[in-house]
């Protein structure tokens, strides 16, 4: 995969906090959410005068998480610090409100059901909500609180959808959704070893047998989660990584959706690059282009089936590596 001048575009006005790739095999459509609440869509196949970039303002604060719906090709869902979850129809440019809590601030979400009708939403104050899009209104179905000070990311297990993973403060924990309760919820497993705040945690995409985390102590860690009921999963990798990014969006390593043992993460190295690591800690590849990539891409995502990598930076630009 390579990067050219026509594969770099400014899609939002401010810092990018979330990036998503449409799963289509035939078209390259990417999205980014920024600090101000903007959502930018970029159709790389559109050669019109505006460059195929369309900007919307569905939120009033940071858009911390974006996902295209695997079940509905036109739907782009987003959560924000403004306490709302919206579903955008990209064919109509309409962003309907799905869930709102004016007293809360949302950090992340994931799809709970295969048809994407139900979701799990993480609140910054460590509450977890279950939302059913088929239910009239904008309230949750269930609301509980995990045993942590905050939740930065929430992620469902890819095989057993009864279990979900949260990261925040120094805590990385696996919970049983069937045990969700208003307070005092205890995890089935705690992933220890992080000494400062954790930026994110994600299950590996096929089996969920691995979890990758990133911590402000300047380490990326990979855990063995093949047994969900292991009280303290084994650390398989502690990779030294410069995560000191107070002037940038925090790094979030994410798994390659096409393989179980590699993850992509931004880098502070020069020349600027986006790294692919094996779970053993081996650097598999560094994506770089000194002419077109001159900034740190903190938020990165890989296409589920195509050779396509998108990186977002703190000035609202997306960089798309493709073959």
State how many domains the chain has.
Answer: 1
Q: For the residues 146-167, what does the mean pLDDT come to?
A: 97
Instruction: Please state, in angstroms and as integers, the Cα–Cα distance from residue 222 to each residue in 150, 208, 274, 295, 304, following that order.
Output: 21, 12, 19, 26, 21
* Alpha carbon 234 to chain centroid, angstroms: 24
Q: For the residues 281-286, what does the mean pLDDT come to?
A: 98
pLDDT tens sequence across 3-18: 999 999 999 999 999 9
pLDDT tens sequence across 264-273: 999 999 999 9
Residues forming a β-bridge with 20: 31
Tokens describing residue 254: 């994410």
Instruction: Please state, in angstroms and as integers, the Cα–Cα distance from residue 292 to each residue in 253, 271, 272, following that order.
Output: 22, 11, 10
Among candidate residues 91, 130, 75, 51, the one with its CA nearest the CA of residue 320: 51
Strands 118-123 and 127-132: antiparallel
The CATH number assigned to the domain holding 305 equals 2.130.10.10
Query: How high is the pLDDT of residue 52?
Result: 94
pLDDT tens sequence across 205-263: 999 999 999 999 999 999 999 999 888 999 999 999 999 888 899 999 999 999 999 99
Burial (0-12, 13-18, 19+ Cβ within 10 Å), 246: exposed
pLDDT tens sequence across 67-119: 999 999 999 999 999 999 999 999 899 999 999 999 999 999 999 999 999 99
Which distant-in-sequence residues (6+ apart) come within 8 Å of 242 by Cβ? 218, 267, 268, 269
Strands 210-215 and 75-80: unpaired
How far apart, in whole angstroms, are the C-alpha atoms of residue 122 and residue 110?
A: 9
What is the extent of the structural domain holding 83? 5-322
pLDDT-derived band at 321 (thresholds 50, 70, 90) equals very high
Looking up tokens 């805590």 gives: 171
- Residue 281 half-sphere exposure toward CB, CA atoms < 13 A: 11
Query: How high is the pLDDT of residue 47?
Result: 81
The percent of residues in the chain predicted with pLDDT above 70, rounded, is: 100
The pair phi, psi for residue 5, each rounded to 5°, is -60, -35
Query: In the predicted model, what is the mean pLDDT of the chain?
Result: 96
SS3 of residue 59 by DSSP? coil
How far apart, in whole angstroms, are the C-alpha atoms of residue 16 and residue 174?
A: 28
């Amino acid at each position: 995969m390579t990067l050219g001048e026509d594969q770099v575009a400014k899609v939002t006005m401010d810092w990018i906090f979330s990036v998503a790739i449409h799963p289509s095999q035939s078209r390259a459509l990417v999205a980014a959410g920024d600090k101000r609440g903007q959502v930018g869509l970029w159709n790389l196949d559109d050669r019109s005068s505006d460059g195929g970039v369309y900007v919307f303002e569905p939120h009033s604060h940071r858009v911390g998480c974006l996902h295209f719906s695997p079940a509905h090709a036109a739907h782009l869902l987003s959560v924000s610090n403004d306490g709302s979850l919206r579903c955008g129809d990209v064919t109509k440019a309409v962003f309907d409100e799905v869930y709102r809590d004016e007293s809360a601030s949302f950090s992340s979400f994931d799809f709970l059901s295969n048809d994407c009708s139900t979701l799990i939403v993480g609140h910054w104050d460590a509450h977890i909500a279950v939302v059913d899009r088929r239910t009239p209104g904008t309230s949750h179905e269930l609301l509980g609180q995990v045993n942590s000070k905050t939740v930065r990311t929430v992620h469902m297990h890819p095989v057993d959808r009864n279990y979900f993973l949260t990261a925040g403060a120094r805590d990385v924990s696996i919970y049983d959704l069937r045990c969700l309760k208003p307070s005092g919820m205890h995890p089935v497993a705690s992933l220890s070893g992080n000494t400062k705040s954790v930026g994110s945690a994600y299950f590996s995409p096929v089996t969920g047998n691995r979890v990758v985390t990133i911590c402000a102590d300047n380490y990326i860690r990979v855990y063995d989660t093949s047994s969900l009921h292991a009280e303290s999963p084994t650390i398989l990798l502690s990779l030294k990584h410069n995560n000191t990014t107070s002037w940038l969006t925090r790094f979030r390593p994410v798994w390659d959706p096409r393989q179980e043992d590699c993850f992509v993460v931004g880098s502070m190295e020069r020349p600027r690059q986006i790294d692919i690591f094996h779970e053993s800690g081996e650097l598999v590849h560094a994506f770089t282009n000194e002419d077109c990539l001159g900034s740190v891409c903190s938020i990165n995502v890989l296409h589920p089936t195509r050779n396509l990598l998108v990186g977002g930076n703190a000035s609202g630009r997306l960089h798309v590596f493709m073959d």
